[in-house]
Structure 1
Amino acid sequence: MSQFTVTVVGLGKIGMPLAAQYASRGLAVHGADVNPDVVAMVNAGKSPVIEEAGLEEAVAKARQAEMLDATTDTALAVSQSNVVVLVVPLMVDRNKQIDYRIVDSASADVARGLQPGTLVIFETTLPVGTTRKRIGPILEQGSGLKQGRDFMLAFSPERVYSGRIFADLRNYPKIVGGVDEASAARAVEFYRAALDEGTPIKLVANAETAEFVKLAETTYRDVNIALANEFARFAASNGIDALDAFDAANTQPYSHIHKPGVGVGGHCIPVYPYFLLDAAAEGELDLVRRSRALNDSMAAYSLDLLERELGSLQGKRVLVLGLSYRENVKEDAFSTAHLLIAELKRRSAHPLLHDPLWTAEELERHGDSAESVADIYAARPDAVVLQAYHQQYARLLDWPRLAEASCRVILDGRNAVRNQREAIEAAGLKYVGVGQ
């Protein structure tokens, strides 16, 4: 039996796999979540998170072994633990301002059950300085304890990808930084016990460095995607197929040009640059700011391409394929679909929305008042915008049938069916790709 008893706060797409991972290593795990339905599922041996490889089996096994339970009473769970790992959402609002309410509330709940000697780790991506300067004081105020003296505090960013979390936990180095040396050392000790044997652990100077690591690696991707998008726009205006050029350029070992596309979505890349920008002085991080704006502008740019083929979009039935922010994942956080639908409405088009991963009711609820479509062909769209190329679309899309259904243009927002361009155009459709 491990020396560690852990409370995982937040049993979502990241927290649930973490809880199952820790239990698989022989740690007693309490899961805490505000949603009683989530808690009930876990206590019944079922995962509230679907489409995560190995998770259903891991949760069932952990419950059977009595190594995992769940509760809505965070303070109680924390009082019975010597390690607390928090993975709760930190997002930005419509004005791109950071919304700390969930993080603050979860921290206050932890504080009410915090015992001397406990290690608290945040895995939620945070702005630099948040662990020490915001979380620490909340924990101190609610517990009467002092960080670095009575309890330990560290930051270790989650670095995993939905659908392959257990593999990523094994393969990606675990970044750890503490508010002091004792906190850092204890966090390293915990992760050596909680993660699979041989998992690399990289200790950095402090919690602030660890916070910056995650922001730097995600913002790096955003900036490089923006560069690819800017290249694509230049190439298209000069009669060059950007993807052909990128493929050739990337034969040079030092060249890693990303793929251009209709936009960037998800919980991470479109959000975390704002965590940096929030703390930046005037004129600082201008490249980051401009890159974020350029990536958000790609939806409008892509619809400009569509207008070149169709003329005005006023009254046109434009079908967006894919509500999800990326293929094969049922999640629409900051999905480019939302930008496309808003821009279609601004141009007085009639936006339609289809996604095989979502029910009609869910599409109505999440789809920004776009008309949800069950049958692509019965919808009779004037144009189709491929926003997320789920594997189901390889079977569902029939180019001649689309042409028969009055469709005129395929806008390949992800360059996902580029290799089918000849077949698309042979069916009488116009193919338009980003950067082509």
Structure 2
Amino acid sequence: MPKETVLVVGLGEVGRPLFELLDESGKFIVFGFDTDKSKMQSLRQTTLPNKVDIIHICLPCSNKSKFVDVVTSYIGKFEPKLVIVNSTVPLKTTIGIYEKCSNCLVAHSPVRGVHKNPEYMKGELKRWTKYVGGANAKAADAARNHFEKLGLKTKVLKSCTETELAKLFETTYRAWMIACFQEMHRISNRVGADFADVVDFIEDTHRIRSDRPVMFPDVIGGHCLIPNVELLLESYDSKLLRLILDSNEKRKEEVKDKRVSEEVERIKRKLEKHKQS
């Protein structure tokens, strides 16, 4: 039986490790594409086929309509039987792609893991269950079979709406917890309390009950949490979501105060020390 031809579009923090995982499995003929030619060159990708069986989309999404248009252009060019969107996307993005390209199967399977480096991320891809949501049941089944052939654990949800929402909720939940600690830090400063002592009490409760994780109240950075809150806001206006964004903007100004930034670092060191013990 001939090997399936797979194209990974986007060779960044997710796409590169996924490309390497597919290639190292020996079960597929793998190609990679990125608009940054240096990323292709680093993987010795110089030519692309005219047609492929499967496309993995590993592109960042900051604009739903543009993302859908870009993905559908790749589908039109390479005529795959199956497209798997690994990106974090706004609600109804996967369905939007399918509606424009109903001649191929389209599924969503968000990636989880810490993006330290490609080798570490390969371990993360193997570690986490690959949740799959299809534009229809046939697409979900095809994506599940593909990931299981790669040796990954899988779980199929009702549809791509569930996987899209699950990924956005997971990161928003963490952002909300950090925003909560930002506000608690403000209150502590207002009343003259030592926030590190307050955190010690909360952390001791978490140590016993395991239901009150402690976050250090720094600015929420990175390329996931705040952008994903904004993606969720595209589909659902929420005071709570806007509170997260407002709190984080406020914190950017607050940490310019040396006293505040030193307190944040003090709590950060304290938490890191406890994690190591």
Fold in common (TM above 0.5): yes
Once the two structures are superposed, the pairs formed by residues 106-145 of structure 1 within 5 Å of their partners are 106-115=71-80, 118-133=81-96, 135-138=97-100, 140=101
TM-score, normalised with respect to structure 2: 0.86
Whole-Å Cα distance in 2 between the matches of residues 266 and 88 of structure 1?
16
Give the superposed CA RMSD: 2.3
Match of 1:82 in 2: 53
Match of 1:5 in 2: 5
After TM superposition, give the deviation of residue 256 of structure 1 in Å: 1.3
After TM superposition, give the deviation of residue 38 of structure 1 in Å: 2.2
SS at match of 1:177: strand
1:171 aligns with 2:93: no
1:229 aligns with 2:185: no
For residues 321-354 of structure 1, the C-alpha deviation after alignment (integer angstroms, 9 at most, x for no partner) is: xxxxxxxxxxxxxxxxxxxxxxxxxxxxxxxxxx
For residues 369-396 of structure 1, the C-alpha deviation after alignment (integer angstroms, 9 at most, x for no partner) is: xxxxxxxxxxxxxxxx97xxxxxxxxxx
**Larger relative CO (CA 8 A, sep 6+): 1 or 2?**
2
Higher percent of residues as helix: 2
Aligned residue identity for 2:147 = Y
Match of 1:340 in 2: none
Whole-Å Cα distance in 1 between the matches of residues 165 and 72 of structure 2?
21
Whole-Å Cα distance in 1 between the matches of residues 170 and 67 of structure 2?
24
Gaps of 5+ in 1: 44-68, 92-97, 141-146, 310-384, 387-410, 420-436
Match of 1:25 in 2: 25
After TM superposition, give the deviation of residue 100 of structure 1 in Å: 4.6
Aligned residue identity for 2:229 = P
Whole-Å Cα distance in 1 between the matches of residues 132 and 10 of structure 2?
20
SS at match of 2:255: helix
CA contact (8 A) 1:15 1:87 kept: yes
Match of 2:138 in 1: 182
Whole-Å Cα distance in 2 between the matches of residues 418 and 236 of structure 1?
19
CA contact (8 A) 1:154 1:179 kept: yes
Match of 2:273 in 1: none
Aligned residue identity for 1:257 = V
After TM superposition, give the deviation of residue 414 of structure 1 in Å: 3.8
CA contact (8 A) 2:133 2:159 kept: yes
Whole-Å Cα distance in 2 between the matches of residues 294 and 154 of structure 1?
35
For residues 275-303 of structure 1, the C-alpha deviation after alignment (integer angstroms, 9 at most, x for no partner) is: 111111xxx42111111210121011222
Whole-Å Cα distance in 2 between the matches of residues 160 and 299 of structure 1?
26
After TM superposition, give the deviation of residue 106 of structure 1 in Å: 4.0
CA contact (8 A) 1:121 1:153 kept: yes
How many matched pairs?
A: 262
Aligned residue identity for 1:114 = E
Once the two structures are superposed, the pairs formed by residues 9-408 of structure 1 within 5 Å of their partners are 9-26=9-26, 27-43=28-44, 69-71=45-47, 76=49, 79=51, 81-91=52-62, 98=63, 100-101=65-66, 104-115=69-80, 118-133=81-96, 135-138=97-100, 140=101, 147=102, 150-163=103-116, 164-194=120-150, 197=151, 199-252=152-205, 253=209, 254-261=211-218, 263-280=219-236, 284-303=237-256, 305-306=257-258
CA contact (8 A) 2:98 2:135 kept: no
TM-score, normalised with respect to structure 1: 0.56
CA contact (8 A) 1:88 1:106 kept: no
Whole-Å Cα distance in 2 between the matches of residues 104 and 415 of structure 1?
46
Match of 1:408 in 2: none
* Residues 417 and 105 (structure 1), Cα distance of their counterparts in 2 relative to 1, 3 Å cut: closer
SS at match of 1:34: coil
Gaps of 5+ in 2: 271-277
Whole-Å Cα distance in 2 between the matches of residues 179 and 216 of structure 1?
20
Percent identity over the alignment is 26
After TM superposition, give the deviation of residue 200 of structure 1 in Å: 2.8
Which has more radius of gyration?
A: 1
* 4+ residue runs over 4 A deviation: 416-419
For residues 47-99 of structure 1, the C-alpha deviation after alignment (integer angstroms, 9 at most, x for no partner) is: xxxxxxxxxxxxxxxxxxxxxx454x5xx45x1x21110011212xxxxxx36
Aligned residue identity for 2:180 = L
Whole-Å Cα distance in 2 between the matches of residues 265 and 213 of structure 1?
21
After TM superposition, give the deviation of residue 160 of structure 1 in Å: 2.1
